[in-house]
Amino acid sequence: MTDIAVTVLPVPDSSGVGGDVWGVGPATRAVEATGARAVELGDETQMIVVGGRVDQAELRRAIDEHPAVSVVQLPSAGVDSYVETMRATRRDGLVFTSAKGAYSAPVAEHALALTLATLRSLPLRARADSWEQEQRGISLNGSRVLIIGAGGIGTELLRLLGVFDVEVTMVVRTPREVPGAVRTITAEGLAEVLPDMDVVVVAAALTDGTAKIVGRAELEAMKPTAVLVNIARGPLVDTDALVAALAAGSIGGAGLDVVDPEPLPDGHPLWDEPLALITPHQANTNAMTEPLFQARVEENIRALADGGQPVGVVDVDAGY
């Protein structure tokens, strides 16, 4: 039991609906499970839990006008849409926490599924309406995999790949070793390693420095048989360059759970690209993430109550 006062946003309207509020239920259950107090936003609020889409101006006011708030829990692993709010409201004693790491397992699982599907030419096979004689497909075993991003999703995918006979290179923000990877590089080394890779997985956070980290030059450097998988954020990949690379057959395929723009408009050339497999940003569905979000909120309520370090603290300057 704890006396921590927690406000969950957004507040549903009189009909019980408040827009995108998938996380309100799990957050409310977390408050109940920890014995914290669910309170309306006010002077006693110590923690704000964002359980769905909120107006950023309203969130800024909620933080600025309530100095007792010391933790703001955000609902997603990627926090690019909250960066301006976090930077505008920073103050001593206030931390922002995200769900980074909480959703790693389902997203990494989806990344593996897209990897296997694109290597095995399933996008093309799924569109077929006759029996093809040409043999297609590449085995993941014995391949070289590049994972751009060594956060929760990237490291979980590295673990899943452990059952395959693969060599994994990890791209990290600052030089460090990642257990299980044959080597780590920074983004400056991409041009050197891309020509050797069979699979390139984008699992990085979207920041000012990582937008279009896979662009025309990177796609041109890849093998014609190599596949690209993006399960992070659409703007990490230059969409126009990807469309051109797929149309030219200069890469072997693409598995995309995220795109830019998103949602991908009807009639966009990616929909008709036989080498592309697109899923509608559902690597982690609500049914998958709700219990994981609840567990994260519970953990951080207890950390606040015990004076400990919350999990998933955001580096506001870095943007993730």
Residues known to be catalytic: 233, 262, 281
Distance (Å, rounded) from C-alpha 300 to C-alpha 313?
10
Instruction: State the Cα angle at 237 between 233 and 239, rounded to 5°.
Output: 110
Find the angle CA(198)-CA(201)-CA(202) to the nearest 5 degrees. 145
Question: Quick check: 195 and 217 in contact, CB under 8 A?
Answer: no
User: Quick one: which H or E segment has residue 303?
Assistant: helix 286-306
Q: What are phi and psi of 31, to 5 degrees?
A: -60, -45
From residue 55, give the alpha-carbon distance in Å to each of 18, 62, 95, 124, 233: 11, 11, 19, 41, 21
Measured CA to CA, the distance from residue 9 to residue 3 in angstroms comes to 19
**CA triplet 159, 164, 166: central angle to 5 degrees?**
90
- CA distances from residue 280 to 230, 263, 271 in whole angstroms, order as listed: 12, 8, 12
